[in-house]
């Protein structure tokens, strides 16, 4: 294991039971939702990786697995060389300081009965950080100001409902930053926000990786929003990564037909640039009955008959760029 790879995911799987146990008397085998179905991924210090895919592709489940909020079915996650796949809650506590998460909906992820100070102070109390109240106050203020809520004093006594969506998302980020994490998982942090606000949250995350050297896993369904600050982009489909590469490789030379389609449908605010769009028909199949062979073949515009039969391996296109498509296998 290279020393650089401080977060390593190997063959990670998460299956949920599709049938409730109480309904099984019509007896057939328990079916599973293949939410995450064999993901390999590594992350380096202060690297930003974007995880892109449609809803149901397993990207949010992957985040919960990394946070230890869901128990994985198979595979390993190791952090700084230590296997953290199946830790007990008390063993995980120290780790939680280092891996933090920002959730999608800023309206739902703040407790309406706590004021901003309590919200940001809470992680410190849970982990017993800070020598005294003064020390904690300073940490709280620093986290707030680093998240762009300046001056912090104005916000401390306010309640979430008094803030706008963008400000709330900054509070959520501050509550994660106060623990001084090394990895930040951001699960669709801007999808609930207006376009004019999105840019500033993305800019904030981009700044943090520079000022605080935080590695960011940025989960989104919108390939368009990852361009400016992601180092690498991983595209997920039905529980698997189908293409991974540096940002420029994926955005400018996409190889997997799914990536190409995703890229082609991103709205571009320029009517003179009417492009050919590849619109996939139908919807992501449900992850209970995963298609045979290449799981993308039923919707793939360039599928061949062999795609039905064999599951494509990753083809290495460059040192950093890989994609899983039979068309790339030479």
Residue for token pair 């004021």: 115
The DSSP output letter for 88 is -
- The verdict on 288 binding other proteins (CB under 8 A) reads yes
Alpha carbon distances (Å) from 272 to 200, 265, 269: 27, 15, 9
User: CB of residue 11 vs other proteins: minimum separation in angstroms?
Assistant: 21
The residue among 35 and 216 lying less far from other proteins, judged by its C-beta, is: 35
Say if residue 99 is exposed, middle or buried (CB neighbours under 10 Å; 0-12, 13-18, 19+): buried
Q: How many CA atoms lie within 13 A of 119 on its CB side?
A: 27
Which residues 289-328 are close enough to bind other proteins by CB under 8 A?
Answer: none
The DSSP output letter for 284 is P
What tokens appear for 305 in the block? 């008959």
Identified binder of other proteins from the candidate list 4, 83, 91, 252, rule CB under 8 A: 252
CB 195 within 8 A of CB 166: no
Distance CA 216, CA 309 (A): 37
User: CB of residue 105 vs other proteins: minimum separation in angstroms?
Assistant: 6
Identified binder of other proteins from the candidate list 26, 88, 211, 276, rule CB under 8 A: 26
What tokens appear for 59 in the block? 């990207």
The residue among 56 and 312 lying less far from other proteins, judged by its C-beta, is: 56
What tokens appear for 233 in the block? 């982009």
Distance CA 233, CA 246 (A): 6
Pick the stretch among 43-51, 79-87, 208-216, 275-283 that binds other proteins (CB under 8 A).
275-283
Pick the stretch among 49-57, 77-85, 304-312, 316-324 that binds other proteins (CB under 8 A).
49-57
- The verdict on 164 binding other proteins (CB under 8 A) reads yes
What tokens appear for 141 in the block? 């203020």
Which residues 170-229 are close enough to bind other proteins by CB under 8 A?
Answer: 172, 175, 179, 194-200, 202-203, 206, 221-225, 227-228
Which residues 50-69 are close enough to bind other proteins by CB under 8 A?
Answer: 54-56, 61, 67, 69
User: CB of residue 218 vs other proteins: minimum separation in angstroms?
Assistant: 13
The residue among 180 and 314 lying less far from other proteins, judged by its C-beta, is: 180
- The verdict on 262 binding other proteins (CB under 8 A) reads yes
Which phi and psi (to 5°) does residue 163 adopt? -110, 155
CB 189 within 8 A of CB 205: yes
- The verdict on 271 binding other proteins (CB under 8 A) reads yes
Pick the stretch among 15-23, 42-50, 74-82, 307-315 that binds other proteins (CB under 8 A).
15-23
Centroid of chain to Cα 130: 30
Alpha helices of the chain — where are they, by DSSP H? Answer: 59-66, 89-98, 116-127, 133-146, 152-156, 165-177, 195-211, 247-252, 257-264
Identified binder of other proteins from the candidate list 72, 167, 169, 315, rule CB under 8 A: 167
Pick the stretch among 14-22, 80-88, 210-218, 320-328 that binds other proteins (CB under 8 A).
14-22
Identified binder of other proteins from the candidate list 88, 274, 319, 330, rule CB under 8 A: 274
Rg of the chain in Å (alpha carbons): 21
Q: Kindly report the number of other CB atoms within 10 A of residue 317's CB atom.
A: 15
Which residues 91-150 are close enough to bind other proteins by CB under 8 A?
Answer: 92-93, 96-97, 100-101, 103-105, 108-115, 117-118, 122-123, 125-127, 133
């Amino acid at each position: 294991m290279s020393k650089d790879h401080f977060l390593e995911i190997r063959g990670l799987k998460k299956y949920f039971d599709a049938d409730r146990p109480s309904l099984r008397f019509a007896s057939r085998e328990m079916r599973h939702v293949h939410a995450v179905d064999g993901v390999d991924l590594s992350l380096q210090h202060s690297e930003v990786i974007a995880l892109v895919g449609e809803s149901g592709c397993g990207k949010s489940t992957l985040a919960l697995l990394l946070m230890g909020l869901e128990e994985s079915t198979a595979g390993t996650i190791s952090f700084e060389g230590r296997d953290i796949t199946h830790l007990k809650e008390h063993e995980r506590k120290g780790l939680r300081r280092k891996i933090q998460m920002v959730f999608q909906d800023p309206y739902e992820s703040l407790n309406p009965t706590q004021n901003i100070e309590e919200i940001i102070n809470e992680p410190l109390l849970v982990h017993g950080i800070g020598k005294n109240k003064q020390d904690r106050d300073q940490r709280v203020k620093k986290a707030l100001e680093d998240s762009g809520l300046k001056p912090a004093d104005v916000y401390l006594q306010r309640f979430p409902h008094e803030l706008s969506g963008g400000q709330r998302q900054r509070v959520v980020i501050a509550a994660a930053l106060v623990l001084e994490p090394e990895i930040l998982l951001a699960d669709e942090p801007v999808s609930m926000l207006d376009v004019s606000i999105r840019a500033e949250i993305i800019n904030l995350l981009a700044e943090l990786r520079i000022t605080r050297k935080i590695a960011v896993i940025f989960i989104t369904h919108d390939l368009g929003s990852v361009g400016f600050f992601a180092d690498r982009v991983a595209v997920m489909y039905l529980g698997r990564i189908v293409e991974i590469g540096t940002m420029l490789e994926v955005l400018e030379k996409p190889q997997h037909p799914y990536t190409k389609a995703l890229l082609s449908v991103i709205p571009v605010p320029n009517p003179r640039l009417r492009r050919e769009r590849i619109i996939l028909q139908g919807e992501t199949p449900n992850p209970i009955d995963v298609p045979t062979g290449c799981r993308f073949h039923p919707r793939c515009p360039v599928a061949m008959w062999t795609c039905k039969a064999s599951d494509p391996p990753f083809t290495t296109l460059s040192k950093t760029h890989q994609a899983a498509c039979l068309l790339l296998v030479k």
